[in-house]
Structure 1
Amino acid sequence: MPIRMISAAELREKLKKEENVFLLDVRAKEKFSQFHIEDPRLEVRNIVKTEIFKAEASTEDKIQFLPDDKEVIVTCTTGNSATKCAKILADKDYNVVVLEGGITAWKKLIKENE
């Protein structure tokens, strides 16, 4: 089953309409600390992609700190690692969607709307 995608513009609209949106950022801690998406309606968790890759081989069904009762939007720098992580999470029955173009697309959207 293909992984669902959400564009940066769609995410921005979602944040205008919904409370408590969950975003999983799988970039390295350093990149995350330099910049990450922030919004009062957004719960952001930074779990490095290698941790998600390790979870793929694990027999554990669930990953600590990830909600299994709501949509998890996965992002990275450009979307490639997020897509790999989303596939692993989908196999563990998480409801996942990937931010198309990742943080790069989000920054571009913000810059265009300044």
Structure 2
Amino acid sequence: MPLKKITPEELYQKMNEQEKVVLLDVRAEDKYNDFHIEGPTIESQNLYKAEILNNGKAIDSLPKNKEIIVTCTTGNSATKCANILSEHEYNVAVLEGGITAWKEYLKTK
């Protein structure tokens, strides 16, 4: 089954509809601390991609009953991580273009 994708615009709309969004950022902690997507409806989690790619136990902390939007800098690592999470029966979507696209989209707001 192909991975679901969500555009920055769709994510922005979800946030404005007061929909709770679980956002998993798989970048290194220092990059996450420099900038990550925030909002009153965002439940942001930072789990470095190696934890997921190596099938670490850390993924057990993620909710299986909610959609998880996975992001990274440009979307490549997020796609790899989302594929693994999907194999473990998580409901995942990838933020197209990652944080880079999100920042570009915000400039239009």
- Secondary structure at 1:2's aligned position in 2? coil
Deviation, 1:111, is 1.4
In 2, Cα distance between equivalents of 1:104 and 1:112: 13
Q: Distance in 2 between matches of 1:92 and 1:18?
A: 28
1:29 has 2:25 as partner: no
Query: Shift in Å at residue 18 of structure 1?
Result: 3.6
CA RMSD of aligned residues (A): 1.4
Aligned partner of 1:94 in structure 2 is 90
Runs of 5+ unmatched residues, structure 2: none
Task: Flag the structure with larger Rg.
Answer: 1
Identity of matched residues, % = 55
TM-score (norm 2): 0.95
TM-score, reference length from structure 1: 0.91
Aligned to 2:5: 5
C-alpha deviation, 1:16, in angstroms: 1.1
Alpha-carbon distance in structure 2 between the residues aligned to 1:20 and 1:48: 22
Moved over 6 A (4+): none
- The unaligned stretches of length 5 or more in structure 1 are none
* Aligned partner letter, 2:70: V
